[in-house]
């Protein structure tokens, strides 16, 4: 395990620490005020300066994340909201949108509200407001590597329609600025079911600030609409909070390595801080960027998905709507890394340059 700038064996840590929570661990508690009352939370401390909060009552999504006291994620001005306040119709999803470093969108709808048959499909689907079952967590040694893990199941099901189960496992490493999210979505029903999943990863101040930059192996960019077209020349640069700013959304095609992996990061070189996400385009072929430079609503979203956030009918009309057959499983793995030194930032830049040279 790496700690305070050097490597320690398990035995060396054991000699120095009577209870491991002194340097790393997982703390379980329940929030007890306001609209967050009753929300089960798990705080993860890795010992590297990286800490983050997983919300089992919100699909095992990630709310706060910080490194040595510096925030990485955006938290919406409504704060953390218990799923009992969820309003599924129209754009009411925004009233319980925590933001956070991860909000899962789906599992059968991603994008603006629409109606299909007897069903109202609200903004970005229901999964992020569904509590997880069979939640477990632990801290254990694998040789001299300390592993901190959280897992559970989130079921999106309704009579007469879907029965999808998301199995999620989140893993962090003692002394390291690295998180792995392994998801498996299973169709436990008896009908072919639309599957739309998008990882809405929301970065905020101070990693997002004037002079911050989106760095990714971008081959091509398309604006979602006229508002985004106005800002396409500066999609990768960020401004100070701007009165009256309207959100801009861009669809990017990214280069991949020989394994199909790609990446995207928000980096603020002025403070040597960045956060990047790695994912596999074979699992998540689309990448969306959400840029919102408004006052208080000051956020940049990095959003890999098996779809873009344009809705189920839009995807079906273009022949890109994915379906899971009965019993079929889809696996997705993402990695989040926090960059905290000039050398790590330059190393990431060099990796992006190498990917682009292949095209």
**Number of neighbours of residue 19 by Cβ within 10 angstroms:** 7
Q: Which two tokens stand for residue 12?
A: 């060396």
Tokens of 70: 């510096």
Cβ contacts of 37 within 8 Å, gap of 6 or more: 31, 82
Rounded Cα gap, residues 159 and 192, in angstroms: 15
Q: In what order do the strands lie in the sheet with 25-30?
A: 25-30, 40-45, 50-55, 61-67, 70-71
How far apart, in whole angstroms, are the C-alpha atoms of residue 281 and residue 187? 21
Architecture of domain 2-357: Distorted Sandwich (2.70)
Geometric angle at alpha carbon 287, from 157 and 44, rounded to 5°: 65
pLDDT in tens, the chain (359 residues): 999 999 999 999 999 999 999 999 999 999 999 999 999 999 999 999 999 999 999 999 999 999 999 999 999 999 999 999 999 999 999 999 999 999 999 999 999 999 999 999 999 999 999 999 999 999 999 999 999 999 999 999 999 999 999 999 999 999 999 999 999 999 999 999 999 999 999 999 999 999 999 999 999 999 999 999 999 999 999 999 999 999 999 999 999 999 999 999 999 999 999 999 999 999 999 999 999 999 999 999 999 999 999 999 999 999 999 999 999 999 999 999 999 999 999 999 999 999 999 88
* Residue 29, Ramachandran bin (φ over 0: left; ψ between -120 and 50: alpha; else beta): beta
Sheet containing strand 213-215, strands side by side: 133-142, 145-157, 163-173, 178-187, 329-339, 273-280, 261-268, 213-215
Return phi, psi of residue 126, to 5°: -105, -15
- Decide if 267 contacts 254 (C-beta within 8 A): no
Contact 125, 112 (CB under 8 A): no
Question: Hey, where are the domains in the chain?
Answer: 2-357
- Residues 359 and 357: their CA atoms lie apart, in Å, by 5
- φ, ψ for residue 174 (rounded to 5)? -60, 130
Model pLDDT, residue 209 = 98
- Residues in the chain, how many? 359
**pLDDT attached to residue 105:** 98
């Amino acid at each position: 395990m790496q700690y305070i700038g050097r490597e320690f064996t398990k035995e060396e840590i054991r000699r120095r620490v009577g209870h491991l929570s002194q340097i790393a661990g997982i703390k379980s508690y329940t929030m007890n005020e306001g609209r967050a009352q009753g929300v089960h939370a798990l705080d993860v401390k890795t010992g590297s300066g990286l800490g983050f909060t997983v919300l089992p009552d919100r699909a095992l999504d990630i709310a706060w994340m910080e490194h040595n006291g510096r925030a990485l994620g955006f938290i919406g001005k409504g704060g953390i909201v218990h799923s009992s306040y969820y309003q599924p119709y129209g754009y009411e999803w925004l009233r319980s949108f925590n933001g956070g470093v991860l909000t899962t969108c789906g599992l059968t709808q991603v994008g603006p509200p629409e109606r299909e048959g007897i069903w109202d499909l609200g903004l970005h689907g229901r999964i992020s407001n569904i509590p997880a079952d069979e939640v477990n967590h632990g801290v254990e040694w694998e040789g001299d590597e300390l592993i901190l893990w959280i897992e559970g199941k989130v079921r999106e099901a309704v009579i007469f329609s879907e029965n999808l189960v998301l199995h999620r496992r989140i893993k962090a490493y003692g002394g390291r600025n690295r998180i792995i999210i392994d998801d498996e979505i299973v169709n436990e029903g008896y009908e072919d079911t639309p599957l739309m999943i998008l990882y809405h990863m929301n970065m905020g101040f101070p990693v997002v600030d004037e002079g911050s930059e989106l760095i990714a192996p971008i081959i091509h960019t398309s604006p979602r609409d006229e508002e985004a077209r106005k800002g396409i020349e500066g999609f990768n640069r960020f401004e100070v909070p701007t009165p009256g700013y309207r959100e801009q959304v861009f669809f990017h095609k990214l280069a991949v390595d020989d394994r199909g992996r790609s990446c995207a990061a928000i980096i603020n070189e002025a403070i040597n801080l960045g956060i990047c996400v790695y994912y596999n385009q074979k699992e998540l072929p689309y990448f969306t960027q959400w840029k919102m430079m408004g006052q208080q609503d000051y956020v940049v979203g990095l959003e890999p998905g098996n779809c873009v956030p344009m809705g189920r009918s839009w995807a079906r009309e273009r022949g890109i709507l994915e379906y899971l057959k009965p019993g079929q499983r889809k696996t997705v793995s993402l990695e989040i890394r926090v960059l905290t030194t000039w050398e790590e930032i330059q190393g990431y830049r060099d990796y992006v340059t190498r990917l682009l040279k292949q095209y």
